[in-house]
Structure formats: structure tokens, C-alpha cells
Amino acid sequence: MPLHRLRHLVPLGAAAAFLLSGCADQAKKETPEQGAQKTSAPDSGRPWEPDDAMQRAERALDAYDDDGSEPRRADSGSAHIASGVHKTFRAPGKRWYRLDITCDTRGVAELTLTLTRGDAEQIYGIGCGDREADQFNIPPGAPFTARVNAVRNGTGLVLWRLNTVSPGDVDGCDDDIDGCDDGDGDG
């Protein structure tokens, strides 16, 4: 699965911190329809704490604050990895959309993100605990859906921000839902 690491993010408030209160002791088994998740994350030896995890995830979302683009926040949120994410976003206007997404977990190295719009679908791996959030470019148009498979036996959170950016600030593939081959979509 290709991972996309593009540039620029804006601050996310801690409005979803309340979601973290119950995620430390999730103990249900993952079912096959939830998709395979890599669970061999190295143990850092530190206990996983929801408040610390939220701060680390926000720093990952803020990693490219000084890249020169001027994103405008369209939406943001968070979820437990045990619940997963299934969110449909509207994408009107002339500005491109950039989905910035990260995860901070205990024992899960990667989550599966699926982006869909109409019949187009792309699947990506989201690295958990990375210092920089993963970023995905979506052109304006019809609504699109972002889905992160749940990890029923996992402890952790997913944070995302949906920003709009000027077409000239699109870096990398210009449509991560349709997908780009090497050399396509230089933004």
C-alpha cells in the first residue's frame, strides 16, 4: 500500500478529547471483515495515555505549519481505533481538498484508510505514531468518503483534518482517490 506524505497542516483543537476516555481497555477480537491491520508496532516502554496520545497526534497534524500554503479548515475530528472512521465529506467549490490524517496507538503500527468517490476507490496505509500526518489530495466535486477500518482489540485514536488549499499548493498526486502513477499529478 502506498503511503503519501505530503506537506502542510493547520492546528486542531482538542475538542474530541472526550473520545479518548474509554479507549485504554478495548479488548474485543478483530473480525475478518474489519481488514488486516499491522499490529507489530514496537513497544516504546512508555504507557499509552490518551492525553499524551492526543498531543502527539496534534503535533503530527501540525508538522507542516510553515510550508507556505494557506489551508482553510473545512472539518476535523477524531475517533477511537476500536470504532474506526466512516465519514463522508462534501467537496464543493474551486479549491482542492487535503485530508490530513494520523493515528496514535498502543501496539498497532498501521491502519487501513479507504478513500472513495463514486466508483473510484484507493486504499492506503496510515502509519501510527509517525511525526508527520499522512496527507491526501482530493479535487473539488462530488462528496467523498474516508473509511478507517476498526481494530476491535486496539487501543488508540485517529485524528483528521479536512482543509481546502489553492490548486497551486497541491503537492504530489492531485487526486489521491483516482490515484496517480509515478510521474502523474505533479500538482
Reply yes or no on whether the pLDDT at 93 is more than 50: yes
How far is Cα of residue 30 from the mean position of the Cα atoms in its chain? 20
87, with CB counted inside 10 A (0-12, 13-18, 19+), is middle
Cα dihedral sign, 15-21-23-28: negative
Per-residue pLDDT at 186: 43
What confidence tier does 66 reach under pLDDT thresholds 50, 70, 90?
low
pTM: 0.72
Q: Tell me the C-alpha to C-alpha distance, in Å, between residue 184 and each of 32, 143, 173, 180.
A: 34, 23, 7, 5
Any idea which fold 1-14+48-187 has?
Answer: Jelly Rolls (2.60.120)
What confidence tier does 31 reach under pLDDT thresholds 50, 70, 90?
very low
Per-residue pLDDT at 85: 96
Neighbour tally for 46: CB within 10 Å = 8
- Checking 176-182 for CB contacts under 8 A at 24+ apart, the result is 176/4, 176/115, 176/122, 176/124, 176/136, 176/137, 176/138, 177/115, 177/116, 177/117, 177/120, 177/121, 177/122, 177/136, 177/138, 177/144, 178/120, 178/122, 179/120, 179/122
Q: Indicate the average pLDDT of the chain.
A: 77
Reply yes or no on whether the pLDDT at 14 is more than 80: no
Q: Which residue has the higher pLDDT, 130 or 181?
A: 130
CA distance 76 to 107: 25
Per-residue pLDDT at 29: 35
User: Looking only at Cα atoms, what is the longest distance across the chain?
Assistant: 47
